[in-house]
């Protein structure tokens, strides 16, 4: 039997022993006596009764082990031209000091802190400082607009918000403070304090009595010798809340616990990523996404690796050789990014001519996730880098890989188009609509995970067990519904094909079409609308929208289209990347009123489609096709 099969079987045969052994990878203040308690929480809880601290495990324990001078975090920012290395000793000092600052502002165990920051080291410092004192952080991606921040403020009710004066995109500097001020003004809940990091690139516009300067507070705390010690936390205490798109504009507050999260991430570093203490690990993502939480901040530091916090893009900062430069300069052993990043590099530099200028021999493995990895991109990456390119599949909810190719155990054969095999902890089933196992391999169905979910996965949604049950557990009793559709082939490899809900994936960013529809519906001229994702050669998918206008409209249609695009940008953020709105007379619907989004998508993507038997009026599809054609959105046109 293969090593992977052995380990997977060992977990299947005795999950309790498997996870108790994995739990030895972290330092406990009080070790748990049991791995799983089925009687606690919605479906059970992990390591209940164990006491531990995430910041201690990420920082202090490495310093105590003599690694104080080893680089913990390298901030590499081609977009600003700055670089900075924090050793484990320095990062511990910064985190302990900022944790004391938070305490001075009244933050304690269980209080929430929102972190709305660009890719600067202070974002990671703020996260780890919360973890140190038992405060629950909720990081909000910098590309989101004030309205998205408002929904998160009102749900998480933070005592403090930590932000910065600006974020930097290749074409502009984005002033954060006015966005933050608007969000705080619009939210029902008000934070007691906002702590703002002033960056060189942009001065803070104005400060109210609620606002404080990051640097001044840190200087004061340092002068007073204030540092916070790690607070012992129950393994089941929340470490963070990360909001992710649901089917409506109200995002889901995914809760991550303390102990199970560490155990799972530590296991993943050894077995999935095969990266050891002292090696450099680089997740080219953003701290606002789950990949950034797990693999920019927590997992590499738990493992005693050097992590890279990269503020830049795969292309244009300054060129398509940036990734290779970072690999050479920091001797990166494993790179984790979204396929879009490689598609962007390939588009710019198809022959990978930049690569020849750099020595990337430190790189052992490239990991891809966040969206479907198309075989062409994988093959191109394999060919230019000459290392295994491993796709793995997971979600914000799971926090770490559900399926993957566990190179730390053994490198399994790569199958293009498949995200490989289930990791220990995950028993995957493909179910039909009625919740029955589909017949035989290669049959498409809903991908479900048998409960309990493994350590590190969400125990619930923030303050909302009911929504957690409704969104994930009720449809297939006894299972977690992933909302992905796919099949398992004859070798046990999983192939993820599509989402079963209104979520689309644009450049690895998870977005809700339902959320965009809610925004469009608020436009005064719009009576009805539909947003859906169509194929995009660079970003995987892109959103497009159709709107039907209220009667009596006198505005020029192109003006309305522009206003709709702007509205989504203002309400959700530039990251929504909705660039095509089409005014149509009617939307194609079934006789029961369901909008035929799947049919529109197939028409746009040039896939075969059948006229739905239940369509209300077939002629409407001609109008839709014409609208797509006139916007250059039919795949054969694009090609």
Give 4 or 86: the residue with its C-beta nearer to ligand AMP.
Answer: 4
**What string marks each residue from 270 to 309 as x (binds ligand AMP by CB under 6 A) or -?**
--------------------x-------------------
Is residue 244 at the binding interface for ligand AMP, with CB under 6 A as the rule?
A: yes
Residues 524-553 that bind ligand COA (CB under 6 A): 539
Structural contact between residues 187 and 150, judged by C-beta atoms closer than 8 angstroms: yes
CB atoms within 10 A of CB 527: 13
Q: How far is the CB of 28 from ligand COA (least distance, A)?
A: 31
Is residue 239 at the binding interface for ligand AMP, with CB under 6 A as the rule?
A: no
In terms of C-beta density within 10 A (0-12 exposed, 13-18 middle, 19 or more buried), how is residue 188 classed?
A: exposed
Q: How far is the CB of 579 from ligand COA (least distance, A)?
A: 8
Give 137 or 372: the residue with its C-beta nearer to ligand AMP.
Answer: 372
CB atoms within 10 A of CB 305: 26
User: What residues have CB less than 8 Å from 552, skipping those under 6 apart?
Assistant: none
Give 121 or 459: the residue with its C-beta nearer to ligand COA.
Answer: 121
Give 313 or 429: the residue with its C-beta nearer to ligand COA.
Answer: 313
Q: Which among ligand AMP, ligand COA, none contacts residue 314 (Cβ within 5 to 8 A by kind)?
A: ligand COA
Alpha-carbon dihedral sign for residues 520, 523, 526, 528: positive
Residues 492-511 that bind ligand COA (CB under 6 A): 506-508
Closest among 65, 28, 62 to 48, alpha carbons compared = 28
Is residue 575 at the binding interface for ligand COA, with CB under 6 A as the rule?
A: yes
Give 204 or 228: the residue with its C-beta nearer to ligand COA.
Answer: 204
Give 291 or 587: the residue with its C-beta nearer to ligand COA.
Answer: 291
Rounded-to-integer distance, Cα 307 and Cα 127, Å? 15
Q: Which of 236, 258, 505, 541 binds ligand AMP (CB under 6 A)?
A: 505
Could you give the strand order of the β-sheet that contains 332-337, starting from the edge strand earlier in sequence? 82-87, 71-77, 306-310, 280-283, 332-337, 365-368, 389-391
Backbone dihedral region for residue 495 (phi beyond 0: left; psi -120 to 50: alpha; all else: beta): beta
Give 31 or 411: the residue with its C-beta nearer to ligand AMP.
Answer: 411
Q: How far is the CB of 601 from ligand AMP (least distance, A)?
A: 15
Task: Enter the DSSP assignment of 25.
Answer: G
Reduce the DSSP state of residue 440 to 3 states and report it: coil
Q: How far is the CB of 572 from ligand COA (least distance, A)?
A: 10
Q: Which among ligand COA, ligand AMP, none contacts residue 499 (Cβ within 5 to 8 A by kind)?
A: ligand AMP
Residues 321-350 that bind ligand COA (CB under 6 A): 338, 340-341, 344
List the structure tokens of 130. 């919360």
Give 143 or 399: the residue with its C-beta nearer to ligand COA.
Answer: 143
Structural contact between residues 50 and 30, judged by C-beta atoms closer than 8 angstroms: yes
List the structure tokens of 303. 């493992």
Backbone dihedral region for residue 613 (phi beyond 0: left; psi -120 to 50: alpha; all else: beta): alpha
Q: Which of 121, 370, 456, 545 binds ligand COA (CB under 6 A)?
A: 370
Rounded-to-integer distance, Cα 301 and Cα 336, Å? 15
List the structure tokens of 520. 């469009």
Structural contact between residues 575 and 509, judged by C-beta atoms closer than 8 angstroms: yes
**What string marks each residue from 409 to 448 as x (binds ligand AMP by CB under 6 A) or -?**
----------x-----------------------------
Give 196 or 291: the residue with its C-beta nearer to ligand COA.
Answer: 291
Alpha-carbon dihedral sign for residues 183, 158, 123, 316: negative
Structural contact between residues 448 and 429, judged by C-beta atoms closer than 8 angstroms: yes
Is residue 499 at the binding interface for ligand AMP, with CB under 6 A as the rule?
A: yes
Rounded-to-integer distance, Cα 621 and Cα 181, Å? 45
Rounded-to-integer distance, Cα 112 and Cα 135, Å? 6
The residue whose two tokens read 């250059």 is 632
Give 438 or 574: the residue with its C-beta nearer to ligand COA.
Answer: 574
Q: Which among ligand AMP, ligand COA, none contacts residue 85 (Cβ within 5 to 8 A by kind)?
A: none
**What string marks each residue from 152 to 171 as x (binds ligand COA by CB under 6 A) or -?**
---------------x-x--
Q: How far is the CB of 392 from ligand AMP (least distance, A)?
A: 6
Q: Which listed range, 31-39, 66-74, 285-293, 602-610, lies at the site for ligand COA (CB under 6 A)?
A: 285-293
CA angle 4, 6, 9 (to 5 degrees): 105
List the structure tokens of 348. 């710019």
Is residue 510 at the binding interface for ligand AMP, with CB under 6 A as the rule?
A: yes
**What string marks each residue from 108 to 147 as x (binds ligand COA by CB under 6 A) or -?**
----------------------------------xx----
Is residue 404 at the binding interface for ligand COA, with CB under 6 A as the rule?
A: no
Backbone dihedral region for residue 521 (phi beyond 0: left; psi -120 to 50: alpha; all else: beta): alpha
Residues 119-178 that bind ligand AMP (CB under 6 A): none
Rounded-to-integer distance, Cα 436 and Cα 52, Å? 40
Q: Which of 48, 148, 371, 605 binds ligand AMP (CB under 6 A)?
A: 371
Is residue 372 at the binding interface for ligand AMP, with CB under 6 A as the rule?
A: yes
Structural contact between residues 212 and 31, judged by C-beta atoms closer than 8 angstroms: no
Q: Which of 279, 484, 518, 571 binds ligand AMP (CB under 6 A)?
A: 484
List the structure tokens of 430. 């493909």
Rounded-to-integer distance, Cα 121 and Cα 311, Å? 10
In terms of C-beta density within 10 A (0-12 exposed, 13-18 middle, 19 or more buried), how is residue 170 classed?
A: exposed
Do the strands 252-257 and 306-310 form a parallel or antiparallel pair, or are they unpaired? Answer: unpaired
Gyration radius of the chain over CA positions: 24
Q: Which listed range, 35-43, 366-374, 471-479, 541-549, lies at the site for ligand AMP (CB under 6 A)?
A: 366-374
Q: How far is the CB of 537 from ligand COA (least distance, A)?
A: 11
Residues 169-198 that bind ligand COA (CB under 6 A): 169, 174
Give the containing element (helix H, strand E) for 584: none
Residues 1-60 that bind ligand COA (CB under 6 A): none
**What string marks each residue from 410 to 439 as x (binds ligand COA by CB under 6 A) or -?**
------------------------------
Give 94 or 536: the residue with its C-beta nearer to ligand AMP.
Answer: 536
Q: Which listed range, 294-302, 320-328, 363-371, 615-623, lies at the site for ligand AMP (CB under 6 A)?
A: 363-371
Is residue 396 at the binding interface for ligand AMP, with CB under 6 A as the rule?
A: yes
Rounded-to-integer distance, Cα 265 and Cα 390, Å? 18
The residues that touch ligand COA, with contacts defined as CB under 6 A, are 142-143, 167, 169, 174, 285-286, 289, 291, 313-315, 338, 340-341, 344, 370, 506-508, 539, 574-575, 577
The residues that touch ligand AMP, with contacts defined as CB under 6 A, are 244, 290, 369-373, 391-396, 419, 484, 496, 499, 505, 510
């Amino acid at each position: 039997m293969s090593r992977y099969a052995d380990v997977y079987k060992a977990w299947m045969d005795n999950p309790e022993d498997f996870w108790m052994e994995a739990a030895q990878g972290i330092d406990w203040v009080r070790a748990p006596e049991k791995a799983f308690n089925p009687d606690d929480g919605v479906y059970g809880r992990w390591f209940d009764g164990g006491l531990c601290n995430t910041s201690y495990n990420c920082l202090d324990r490495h310093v105590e082990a003599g690694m104080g001078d080893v680089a913990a975090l390298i901030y590499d920012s081609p977009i600003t031209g700055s670089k900075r290395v924090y050793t484990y000793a320095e990062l511990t000092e910064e985190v302990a000091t900022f944790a004391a600052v938070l305490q001075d502002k009244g933050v304690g165990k269980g209080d929430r802190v929102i972190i709305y920051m660009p890719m600067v080291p202070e974002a990671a410092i703020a996260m780890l400082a919360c973890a140190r004192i038992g405060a629950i952080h909720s990081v909000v991606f910098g590309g989101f607009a004030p309205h998205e921040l408002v929904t998160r403020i009102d749900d998480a009710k933070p005592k403090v918000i930590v932000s910065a004066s600006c974020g930097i995109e290749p074409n502009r500097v984005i002033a954060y403070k006015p966005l933050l001020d608007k969000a705080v003004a619009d939210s029902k809940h008000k934070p007691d304090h906002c702590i703002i990091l002033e960056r060189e690139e942009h001065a803070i516009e104005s400060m109210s009595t609620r606002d404080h300067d990051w640097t001044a507070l840190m200087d004061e705390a340092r002068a007073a010798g204030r540092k916070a010690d790690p607070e012992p936390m129950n393994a089941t205490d929340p470490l963070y809340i990360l909001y992710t798109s649901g089917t409506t504009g109200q995002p889901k507050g995914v809760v991550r616990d303390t102990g199970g999260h560490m155990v799972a991430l530590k296991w993943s570093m050894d077995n999935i990523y095969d990266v050891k203490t002292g090696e450099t690990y680089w997740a080219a993502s953003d701290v606002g996404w789950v990949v950034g939480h797990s693999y920019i901040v927590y997992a590499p530091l738990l493992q005693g690796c050097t992590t890279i916090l990269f503020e830049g893009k795969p292309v244009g900062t300054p060129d398509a050789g940036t990734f290779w430069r970072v690999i050479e300069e920091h001797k990166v052993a494993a790179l984790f990014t979204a396929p879009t990043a490689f598609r962007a590099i390939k588009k710019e530099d198809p022959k990978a001519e930049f690569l020849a200028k750099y020595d990337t021999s430190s790189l052992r493995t490239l990991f891809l996730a966040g969206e479907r990895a198309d075989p062409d991109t994988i093959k191109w990456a394999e060919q230019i880098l000459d290392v295994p390119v491993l796709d793995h599949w997971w979600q914000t909810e799971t926090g770490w890989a559900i399926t993957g190719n566990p190179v730390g155990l053994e490198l399994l054969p790569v199958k293009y188009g498949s995200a490989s095999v289930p990791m220990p902890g995950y028993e995957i089933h493909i179910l039909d609509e009625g919740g029955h196992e589909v017949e035989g391999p290669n049959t498409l169905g809903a991908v479900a995970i048998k409960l309990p979910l493994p350590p590190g996965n969400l125990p619930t949604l923030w303050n909302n067990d009911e929504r957690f049950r409704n969104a994930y557990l009720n449809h297939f009793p006894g299972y977690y519904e992933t909302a992905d559709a796919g099949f398992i082939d004859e070798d046990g490899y999983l192939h993820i094909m599509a989402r079963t809900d209104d979520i689309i994936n644009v450049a690895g960013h998870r977005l809700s079409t339902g959320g965009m529809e809610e925004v469009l519906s608020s436009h005064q001229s719009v009576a009805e609308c539909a947003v859906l994702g169509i194929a995009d050669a660079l970003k995987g998918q892109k959103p497009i929208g159709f709107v039907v206008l209220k009667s009596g409209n006198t505005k020029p249609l192109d003006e309305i289209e522009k206003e709709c695009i702007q509205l989504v940008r203002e309400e959700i953020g530039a990251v929504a990347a909705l660039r095509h709105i089409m005014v149509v007379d009617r939307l194609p619907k079934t006789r029961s009123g369901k909008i035929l989004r799947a049919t529109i998508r197939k028409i746009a993507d040039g896939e075969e489609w059948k006229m739905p038997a239940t369509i209300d009026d077939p002629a409407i599809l001609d109008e839709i096709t014409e609208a797509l054609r006139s916007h250059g959105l039919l795949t054969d046109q694009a090609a």
